[in-house]
Amino acid sequence: MTQRIVLAMSGGVDSSAAAVLLKRQGYDVIGLFMRSGATEDYACQTGLSSALPVISTKSNKQGCCSASDAADARRVADALDIPFHALNFQDAFGRIKDYFADEYLAGRTPNPCVMCNNWLKFGKLWEFAEQVGADAIATGHYARIATGELGPQLIRGRDRSKDQSYVLFGIRRDLLEKIVFPVGDFLKPEIRELAGEAGLRVATKPDSQEICFVPDHDYAAFLQRHRGVENTAGNFVDIQGRVLGQHPGFERFTIGQRRGLGVTFGEPRFVVRIDAETCDVVLGTMDDLACRGLTADRTNWQIAEVPESFRCYAQIRYQHKAARATVTRQDDTLDVIFDEPQFGVAPGQAVVFYDDERLMGGGWILSGMPAREIGARM
């Protein structure tokens, strides 16, 4: 029996190539474009549910969720003879915007892509799949699902330079058996070539780099629009608390940042810590930025049995090269100690654990353990 599968189509080359691959594999594919902020409220023209509004094609550019992206996705679906639905999830997406604002205003560094995958892409995608009687869901992420005696396992994509498993750590483990990642076994150039051979003009479309609801990268302006943020200006201080200068708002900075500080020194200085209560942005040297470990909470696991202590590779941000570490957990809180100090440990970001290529799970960083402080206690 032919399996029905719902594919999240963003209008980009990866999800478009995924559609080609799924069709070749014999799936009954249904395409779904998930819009984050349209204004139209017409009933869905596909006859599924009047509670699922279609998008407007008049909306302005919003990263990977724009009207032009929806048009690209529809053209791909038409070319491949795939039923296509474009639905507005504006209300659900408001939760992600609120999270983003809350984290920045608390002095942390949010990761909206992880939250979007947890709350929207895989949550709402599966809800839609159930409505249309689908057996599985698919996306264009560079990751893979392996099956074996331990059940489905989430592993890194073959193209390590494009691997996106890090941003998938928070999806529900019980969904793994229902997920397909068609492009996970391919390199990016192979995917572009495949899309080109299929006659899809998105084969040369650039990858989306921005946060879809902040396409101009102006986080401060977004916070002003979304929350009406008042004055968050304060002082740059060193790690001893001495004032080094002033800044226009702490939400403009993130841990590890060097450029765009607006002040100059005789040696490179980095953002080491952000204090939302005092509005201080703490600057230090590369040595001050080094962390021997971190604490994390709100864990999510992709393995059935989680040891109280284990060795792994820990990844602290999307582009970070995972580092050898020892993890010790107590209930939903854990400590991570690196074999070698790591730089740019940012509260609010995810820390994700790997056993070689297999993703074990992860959590959200509460705080770093500065290497200098640990060394002083030894």
Q: How far is CA 148 from CA 145, 151, 315, 352, in A?
A: 10, 5, 25, 22
**Residue 361 phi, psi dihedral angles, 5° rounding:** 160, -165
- Report which of 115, 31, 131 is spatially closest to residue 73, judged by C-alpha positions: 31
Q: What is the DSSP letter of 211?
A: B
Sequence-ordered list of residues with C-beta below 8 angstroms from that of 160, at least 6 positions apart, any chain = none
Of 64, 65, 113, 116, which is the active-site residue?
Answer: 116
Q: How far is CA 311 from CA 118, 170, 326, in A?
A: 26, 20, 5
Beta carbons within 10 angstroms of residue 25's beta carbon: 12
Examine the residue annotation and report whether 212 is marked as an active-site residue of this protein.
yes
- At residue 369, what is the residue type? M
* Cα 347 from Cα 299, distance rounded (Å): 14
- Report which of 238, 268, 232, 267 is spatially closest to residue 253, judged by C-alpha positions: 232
Specify the DSSP element, H or E, that contains 293. Answer: strand 290-301
Structure tokens of 80? 């491949």
Examine the residue annotation and report whether 312 is marked as an active-site residue of this protein.
no
H helices present in the chain, as ranges = 13-24, 67-80, 90-105, 112-115, 122-131, 188-197, 219-227, 286-289, 371-377
* Cα 219 from Cα 228, distance rounded (Å): 13
Q: What is the DSSP letter of 129?
A: H
3 state DSSP class of 335: strand
Of 113, 212, 279, 312, which is the active-site residue?
Answer: 212
Which residues have a catalytic role annotated?
116, 212
